[in-house]
Structure formats: structure tokens, C-alpha cells
Structure 1
């Protein structure tokens, strides 16, 4: 009894230590001081643009959320908006950071005019004999261009998915969700009312969740259960800011390209490289897929791969063991989705104290990749194979599946599982009953893609 009490004290101490040190998972256990706002990927780009020949006086009356969407709520209704309502302020900040525009107050022009009237009245009332110039104020700037537009869509659940596994009370999983926000920005000439330029940008918003749990009966009366998880949501405010900054950057570059405004030429071609890079992005964007996925992420026509795999025989003997082996192979894509695969693997058939034999297996598979132009894609495959038994060649079929993630245009990480279906019952040199011998395997691997990208669809 004393021993069990001591164990309980140790376990409780470890749990308290873990909870008090949640900063290991970037979880705050106390209040944090205020900081400056984060910057986006495009903030340095608009700040480092070459200077304009003359700044453009621009007014923004209203740049608002035009979606009218409210936040999704699991229980009941939510009256909080899905998109921040201060987007006019975000646009003005981006225009200021670019140093290409002189932004003037138009969103709350009534407040400005009232304050100027108060100044005139006060000066006139208390100026005494110097009332001739008491009410004089500098004239207000007028805008040569108005910036109009807004956030026109907020699409939720553009892509969702997850992966998980559980074995003998121990499990882990991950889920993700991708939303998308879309911004339109247009420049309007105040002298003619002409819309001289319109740009359109979008930004995905990613939410991810990771969790793990442990569930095990220690004995007939005691249960040990543990859970851990973390969820991270990309701030909508930063996504809106990045989309607006990208729109401002596009507006400036396209305006210089189309001779709507000019930059101060500190060197003969200081803007040419920026325009060339932007034109390349526009050309690539013409074939862009929904969800901010680009054709450059498409797999090549061929690939070679290597996997580390754990194999376990399911035969007639008991106490089968999981052993680590490997697989190498080559794939040839017939279409974007379908490829043919040939591979060679080394596995170990083992039942503890009874059988242990290392063999080579060869397989031919047909694999279907569900999302070939996306970084993350599930896949399934099936085929036939054989392994070289000391006395004969044994044939089998296999079926499997998994997920793949492109970490670069050529390299992809893979996680897979496979079930080997035997045609005979003598893998372990023992025939017993009608059930054929089988095998199960799990693997992690690396795929290298190469060859022409423009393959048959």
C-alpha cells in the first residue's frame, strides 16, 4: 500500500510539473506585455520600392468588408463578424508605407470639417483687433485618385483534412482547415471618373490542430488516461493585411508598367527587375488552382523513392514480431494522377522463437494520386508481387495508401501503410487451415521527382 501511495505521489508531481511548464509548447502561462504589430511578407517589399517621381495624393472614403459574414459558431448564433471591420485603416497604412502616395483623410471627413470650423470660430472670437487673418487656415488637399473596393469574399473550409492512428490505447492525430479571403482594389481618376486600374488578390488562412492521447487499464480497477493537444489559427487580421498590401504593391507595379505614374530613376533600370518578376508571377498565376496552389508544385513525370518500412507477418504461428526493412523503386506517371511503379524491398518474417527469415520482395503497382498539383495529397495503390523463398518463389497481391507532402518542387515526404495478401499458406513453411498467409507494413519515405512537368492530362 505504501508503495502504491509513493507511485501516486510521483505521478501527481510529474503531472503538476508538466502543467507548470507548458511553455515547452509555446503556451503562455501568464500575461504578456503589449508589442508592436507583426509585419507580413509584403510589408518589406512595399517599404523598399524605388521612390516615385512625385507622390500621388489619394483619398479613401470607404474600403470595407462587403461579405456581411459572421463568425461560425458551434452552438447558437454569433454576431461577431468573420472579417475585421477596420480595413480602411489597413489600406491607409499600406499606402503610407509604400511612400508612393500622400493619403488624405476622407473616411471621417465630417469630423475634420467640424474641427476646422471650431478653429475658425475660436480664432475669430478671441482674436480682438487682429480679426482680419484670424480665421485663415491652409486649404485642404484634394485627391487626384480615389482608392475604392473592399473585401468581397471570405470562403470557409476551402480545404479540410486530417490524419491519425491509434494502437493499443495510444493514439495521435492532426487536422487542418483552410479558408480564403479575397480583395479587390481599384484606382479612380477624380478628374474624369475613369477607373484606371483594378487589381485582385487573395490569401489563404490556415488552421491546424495536433493531439495525442493515451488510454490504458493498469489493472482491473485502475485506468490511466492522458491527453495533449495544441491548435494554431492564422490571425484573420494578418491575412487581410497581407492581401491588402499585395494589392497596393500590384497597383504600384502595374501603374508603372502601364505608364500611369512614374518612379524617380535613381538608376537607368531600377524598376525593370521588379516589373519582370511581377510579370513572371502573373504568367504563373494564370494557371493557378483554388487554394493558392501553383502548377510549379506539380510532380514530375518520373520519380525515384526510398522508404523505411516496418513489416509484420500474419501467418499460422503466434508471437509475430515487427521488423524494420527498406524499399526502393521508381515511378512513371502515365497521367497527372496515375503512375506505374516497380520496387524492390527487404523484409524480415519473424515469429519469436520459431521463425526468422530475411527475404527480398519485388512489386509492380498502379498508384492513384488524388491531388497531383497540390503540396499535400493522399494516394492509394494496388498491384502484384513476389518474394524469393529459399525453395521457391512466392506470389502475392498488395493494397495500400497514405499521404504525401511536397517539401520542395522535387522532394516529397511520404507516410504509407500496406497490406500484403498471400496466394498460399506457406510463407512460414507451415500450412494450417484455409486462411492464406498475409503481412502488414508501415513506412516513411522520400520521393524525388524529375522529368518534364507538362504531362498528359
Structure 2
């Protein structure tokens, strides 16, 4: 009887030690994963080429503004999974019903924040400055812009996005008429596609120390368990 109880006690101690070891291993891996997340580099990437098509509408000195065609091409470089610098070329028209219809382009530089870079679905916001120009650069003006949208990773390295931006032009002659107390502004709304690439080296730099930290934590846990 005494031998049976002793064996049961030893068995319980062994199971408890194994459970503690497994728990410590999982805790270490979880802590390291939270610190060195790499899903961004699997779903997305450090570089992005993007295209978009949508509509633009002016808010100026005339009434009855019209929605016109808008297209965009750009490149973005992620400094971190959350933050990227975006450089874009935008081609669009601004128009009023039966009065005015003019082609424009803008060259924008934005700082963009991706809220959930390690998830398939994420909102994003951006802000920056740019140069607004009419066709053939007849008229140019500095502007500031800001906006936001949502992105969904439809497949690996390809994201679909819907976004809008607000553009404040430092000129009241965007529509050819200088009137009122404020400068002209316009909005753009578009549906686009992000094509991600690169980032394997950056991921490798994160994975290597991650593995070292996991091994170190496991060795430490084993040491204290044995102690």
C-alpha cells in the first residue's frame, strides 16, 4: 500500500513537472511572438506598387459641382509594419455642370499608418503635402491632403483597398474664379489594388533573434525546473 501511494506521488510530481515545462515553453513563445511579429511580411511586404480608379469632386466658388474621373499610380515604402512613406501620381478632372471642366494632376507625398499590419483586414490613415497642377502645368499650387480607408488582403501580397482623401489647395483660383474668403478644395474617392513585394531580409532579421530568445527562455525554464 505504501509503495503504491509513493508511486502515485512520484507519478503526480512527474506529470506536474511536464505540465509546468510545457506551460513555460508556450509562455516564452507567446511573449516572443508578441514582441517579434512577422505576419506582416507574409501577408504584405516592405514595398508596394498601387493603382486605383475612382472619382473626384471640387468644392470651390461655383454651384453644381460634378463627379469626374480619377486615377492613381503610386509607390510606398514601409519603414515599419505600421508606418510607410507613400509617393503618388494622381490624374483627375474637376468640373461644374455646364460651366467648367478642367484636367489636373497632383504629386503627393504622405506618411501612412496601417492600424493592423499583421491582419488581413486593416484600416489606414495618411496625411502629407503635394503639388497640384493643371494640364501642361499652366497653373500650379502647393496643397495639403489627408484621408483614410480600409484594406483587405485578398491573396498573399495582394490587397484591395477603398479610400478617400481631402485636398486643401493654397490657391483660390483652382476653378478659374477668385471669390470668397477661403481657398479651393476637392475630394477624391477610389477603389484600388496594392501589390506588395520584398521584406524577406527584414523578416529574417526578426526571426533569427526570435529563435535565440526562445531557446534562451527554454534553457532558463529548464534550469529553474531542475533546481
Paired residues of 1:299 and 1:449 also in contact (CA < 8 A): yes
CA deviations over 1:127-176 (Å, ceiling 9, x no partner): xxxxxxxxxxxxxxxxxxxxxxxxxxxxxxxxxxxxxxxxxxxxxxxxxx
Structure 2: how far apart are the matches of 1:387 and 1:287? 46
CA deviations over 1:96-148 (Å, ceiling 9, x no partner): xxxxxxxxxxxxxxxxxxxxxxxxxxxxxxxxxxxxxxxxxxxxxxxxxxxxx
Residue 217 of structure 2 is matched in structure 1 by none
CA deviations over 1:346-404 (Å, ceiling 9, x no partner): 11111010001122221111111122222222211111112322522222110111122
Paired residues of 2:58 and 2:95 also in contact (CA < 8 A): yes
The RMSD of aligned alpha carbons is 2.9
Q: How many residues align?
A: 184
Structure with higher helix content: 2
Residue 442, structure 1, aligned to residue 202, structure 2: no
Q: 1:377 to 1:287 in 2, by over 3 A?
A: farther
Residue of 11, 35, 55 corresponding to 1:192? 11
- 1:296 shift after superposition: 5.0
Gaps of 5+ in 2: 1-7, 24-28, 207-227
Structure with higher strand content: 2
Residue 396, structure 1, aligned to residue 143, structure 2: yes
Residue 306 of structure 1 is matched in structure 2 by 51
Report runs of 4+ in structure 1 exceeding 6 Å deviation.
none
Gaps of 5+ in 1: 1-188, 201-283
Residue of 365, 371, 374 corresponding to 2:119? 374
Q: 1:190 to 1:306 in 2, by over 3 A?
A: farther
Secondary structure class of the residue paired with 1:407: strand
Structure 2: how far apart are the matches of 1:288 and 1:413? 27
Paired residues of 1:296 and 1:409 also in contact (CA < 8 A): no
Paired residues of 1:308 and 1:326 also in contact (CA < 8 A): yes
Residue 353 of structure 1 is matched in structure 2 by 98
Paired residues of 2:109 and 2:130 also in contact (CA < 8 A): yes
Higher relative contact order (CA 8 A, sep 6+): 2
Residue 332 of structure 1 is matched in structure 2 by 77
CA deviations over 1:333-352 (Å, ceiling 9, x no partner): 12222111111111111101
Normalised by the length of structure 1, the TM-score is 0.37
What is the correspondence of 1:113-124 to structure 2 with a 5 Å cutoff? none
Structure 2: how far apart are the matches of 1:325 and 1:392? 19
Secondary structure class of the residue paired with 2:81: coil
